[in-house]
Chains A and B, each alone.
Chain A
Amino acid sequence: MRLVLLAAALLALGTAPHSTPPRASASPSLPQLRAERETLRARLEAAVERDPLATRVLGGNTDVVLAIRTDFVESLLAEVAHQYFDDVVLDLAAVAVDADGAIGTKTAFGRLELGEWQLAASIERLRGRLRAGHPRLRFHENQVDVDVPVQVLPASGRIAIDFAWDSKGLANVVCRDFAVRQVLDGRVLAQQHRLRVVIRLASGDGGLSATPVLSERGVPLRVDLTPESWASVTQALEAQDSPGRCGMFLKPERVLGELRALAARGIQVRLPDELVRSVRLPAQLAQQVRLGARDVELSLHRPALQVDAELVWSSARISATGARRPAAAPSAASRASRSGSA
């Protein structure tokens, strides 16, 4: 029995596991490995020199390059534009429009001016709701041109109509001036516009930002009165069509026609500045990393951004400016991650 134990001990000693793997008898020698590495390295270098992307990276004196395919940025910005403009509510109160004109008549002595009219429509209470379609994007230089169809949903509100008649010349002797003000039920008509936005891409503080700028700030918003409101306006103007009030000169149907034309042209709504805001793209250079138990502060130098048809290209030199131990515990390394292997 003692002999068996002795044998087992000796065998165990002889075959104890090593901390590093033993050399397999067929393993290449150190010189062979070195030679093969140099051969492979030379072949790789030759192939890299033929790769335009690799040579572009290697040609820049940078620590970090972040290259994003434009088609990805395009799909991201398209979704952003689509979602962002999908449920925008604009308060149109105080938006106003006006028109004026002169009415005259032909006489044997030429044209005789009877008077001037002024028409003003202002929105007292009306909220327009916007909904976006799928935008078209076009990259050039460091910006993206976005053309997004925006649907305006119908909405109801209150619109004030002010009409004033100012008699002139001979008519002024026999006619009285008058003014009519009515606050009526109005509505925003369903309509579609194309919103043109230029998105400027920029890099600063490591982040890639997209800042939209509206190409046209004004949108002609078509509004209308309800049939009942039109009837009310008609009635008010016709009430002036009596001797001494000059309605006979005014021709209510003509004023109504002007009012309808005004509504059809639309009220020019100036889109507010707050409508467009900058967004940070989700890929960026970080200004702090954690190593061990320390947070390392970083400083970016010479950050650069280039956009071409293929890539949005961000690069920078980076220096570590200081390290400190954070108060909080480090993030759990055991959590699921989105990984790849070399």
Chain B
Amino acid sequence: MTLRRFLVAILTLVAGAALTCRGQEPALSAEELVLEREVQKLRAQVEAAEAGTLLDFDQMLVVVDQDLVQRLLESATPLEGDVGQGFHVRIDAARAEFANGVALVHLDGEASLVGRGISAQMSLYGGLDVVELDPASGVLRARVAVYAVEIPKADVLGIDEPARRLTQALAEGGLETLLGPIEVPVRIEDRLRLPALRTRRISIPALDVPVAATVSSVRVFAGKLWVGVRAQVEGPADELCTSRGGG
């Protein structure tokens, strides 16, 4: 055996070993990814619940039922648009499940490669991980973090490799572009206002009481999303030196 042949043999073995290792540790399935998050969140919530601090909210508590979120999502479907990296996605159906520590959102639809005429059914598993108050309107809204995307027939349809990029495209702003944050019908405004009143008999200046509010805790159990809000009334003088916002 020449040195050249020997090196080829060694390199083939190394590459083969690498491929074999890859085969032994396949990517986690969508169910596993979701389960891992659920277990992680449930652990924290069980700990809080058993310590008596599960709903230890500050000034306000907003509780939203999973059925309402599902109805809202259904009313917005079908949703369709480009999500980046050459993908076009249409969402036809949505489900929400807030039972296991995670505000799970399951979106079903179709993904296609723009200009390629190839498409496949897809399922997206995401969670309402970040809940916030819209700074302009005060509406409570939640952003959907992408946990996993499944394309059951990706291999058959020949888009297996591009499909790997779909998860990345959706996670890195694609879903946000398509769906945006999910607004919950609760509004916490940043001030209480009353216009000035001037009549023949009475004169009252305008009333403006600033309120600083931020989301302070989020729990998910029993089919509901439980959002604690910290709120503080600020006097007129405080307004000048207290910045709003938080997180």
Contacts and interface: CB of A to CB of B under 8 A. Distances in A.
Interface of A: 3, 6-7, 10-11, 13-15, 18-25, 27, 30, 33-34, 36-37, 40-41, 43-45, 47-48, 51, 53-54, 57-58, 62-69, 72, 75-76, 79-80, 83-84, 86-91, 206, 272, 274-275, 277, 279-294, 296, 298, 318-320, 322-323, 330-331, 333, 335-342
Contacts of A53: 55, 61
Given A283-B60, A340-B214, 9 more contacts: A7-B11, A10-B14, A24-B25, A79-B235, A83-B236, A86-B205, A282-B189, A338-B247, A340-B130
B185 A41 contact: no
What are the 7 closest A-B residue pairs judged by CB atoms, nearest first?
A14-B18, A10-B15, A339-B132, A340-B215, A47-B49, A289-B183, A291-B76
A41 B42 contact: yes
A315 B65 CA distance: 11
Interface in B61-88: 61-65, 67-68, 71-76, 79
A18 B136 CA distance: 39
Nearest to B195: A277
Contacts, number: 329
B116 interface: no
A51 B219 CA distance: 14
A30 B204 CA distance: 67
B8 interface: yes
- Decide if the interface of chain A is mainly helix, strand, loop or mixed: mixed
Interface string B222-240: 1010111001010110000
A302 to B, nearest CB: 14
Given A19-B163, A318-B185, A48 B221 contact: yes
Nearest to B200: A91
B201 A90 contact: yes
B243 to A, nearest CB: 10
Interface residues of B, number: 129
A62 B65 contact: yes
A326 to B, nearest CB: 12
Contacts of B220: 342
15 contacts: A20-B167, A23-B27, A25-B25, A40-B43, A41-B99, A65-B62, A69-B59, A69-B60, A72-B231, A79-B233, A83-B208, A275-B202, A277-B194, A291-B75, A342-B219
A72 B229 CA distance: 11
B203 A333 contact: no
B120 interface: no
Contact of A338 (B30, B228, B245): B245
B191 A282 contact: yes
Contacts of B72: 289, 291, 296, 320
A277 B128 CA distance: 39
B123 interface: no
A308 to B, nearest CB: 14
A7 B15 contact: yes
Contact of B15 (A13, A43, A65, A282): A13
B2 to A, nearest CB: 12
B209 A19 contact: no
B61 A65 contact: yes
Given A23-B27, A272-B201, A342 B189 contact: no
Contact of B187 (A80, A286, A338): A286
